[in-house]
Structure 1
């Protein structure tokens, strides 16, 4: 199946509202003007539940909400290949084109060469299986993995060397706006989707608009690529569904501003 076109698409990570039933998550996303959802494998879309996956696919069509990706918890170098293949089948059943994966279980600064080689080997194997289904895989850009910094993520992507492997991006905890944007720009050719949230300082969850200085610059960078990218809301304050319309409106406004050339100068 083909990836979507060239637009920046406002969306949602289902884990944001993991306490709600899947069909309610879809209805809320549609009402908030969000176009697509990444479905988490942990609660809403376990790979071993074909009936649940079918329900999500049917409800998504009913509400006109796309399916951005399958948010797996498969960890290269640790999880079995069978678990990875189950995630690929789940993504195929949902009708999406991307599976999020995790690059090991430890940070790049503490991972030795044999473990890194095992991660690379597993990712290559899963990527080759994914290609037979027309799927891509992308790393969660996260601490305690080999995709924890821009430099380490680039090294990992080069070692894997598969055209259907990319990465997600999100600001690292505690990064200033300048550092975060520089990291995004370094990874930009490989970025497939972005997890959007405003934490500051540390992991304090703020309304999205409170980090407008960061996100308006991010939107301008992403819009400059002309590529289709999913911008997925995550970690809304207090996991409160009632704030979703406001958070979604903020995200959609930033996307509109960036794509209409009204983003701030960089």
Structure 2
């Protein structure tokens, strides 16, 4: 069954009146292409569509390098062929002064890809170790990148990640305020080894400024589990996101064993948990 056929069947099943108490999800399920770096873009798109996913974030490292426009076009064509929306461009721009000259090419690649958003990184030093000068430099670089992105009709979103200035919720909120750009938001993902309650409290503080979440189930450390193995966490995540009632993307990333064969299982879990109330 193709992804389109799966979605049509699901829509037919929802054609009647919804049952009392049924949940409505505002999240769009998708896939980060870096999950399957070893597969060609067309194969990534086919598998995502067959799993019933709706969107893809194309990564700049393999599937859509900003210096290879033909490769970028091929990724865009793969999205269209399988009925997927390109929701974002996963860049590895770290917002350091030495990288700023590279950002216009990244923005142009995002436009060529048809992505409305570019994911960027907040430096390469954690918030507790960064010097005031380094932090100021990252702020200045992000502000200029946001200006360039706006000129191209793009949004920016920060990777929420350790060893960057988005390694804590407080530092992320501070950074967003320091940059002060209307088109800059952030991603969210569960911090490594954070208990469910702690992770959910962090998301609750950040949720109004989140444009997408990276969805995975790791515990302990970066040991990859089935998404269902941390279902309580993700049910809580989607309850928070659905209460906000603002559409955003929920993107599967780094499935167990990097195994394409488990994608449908993980996508089924994602949709089920995203509809949790």
CA distance in 1, matches of 2:62, 2:158: 20
The runs of 5 or more residues in structure 1 that have no matched partner are 1-5, 258-262
1:118 matched residue in structure 2: 137
Matches within 5 A, 1:42-191: 42-191=61-210
Alpha carbons 2:45, 2:79 under 8 Å: kept: yes
RMSD, aligned CA: 1.0
Q: 2:254 aligns with which of 230, 235, 242?
A: 235
Alpha carbons 1:78, 1:105 under 8 Å: kept: no
CA distance in 1, matches of 2:97, 2:187: 20
CA distance in 1, matches of 2:235, 2:164: 27
Q: Which has the larger radius of gyration?
A: 2
2:242 matched residue in structure 1: 223
Runs of 4+ in 1 over 4 A off after TM superposition: none
Alpha carbons 1:78, 1:104 under 8 Å: kept: no
Report how many aligned residue pairs link the two structures.
253
Q: TM-score, normalised by structure 2?
A: 0.90
Matches within 5 A, 1:191-206: 191-206=210-225
Alpha carbons 2:216, 2:252 under 8 Å: kept: yes
Q: TM-score, normalised by structure 1?
A: 0.93
The runs of 5 or more residues in structure 2 that have no matched partner are 1-24
Equivalent position SS for 1:73 = coil
CA distance in 1, matches of 2:97, 2:268: 39
CA offsets per residue over residues 33-84 of structure 1, 9 Å max, x none?
A: 0000111101111001111111111121111001010000001125422211
Residue 254 to residue 180, structure 1, CA distance change in 2 (3 Å): same
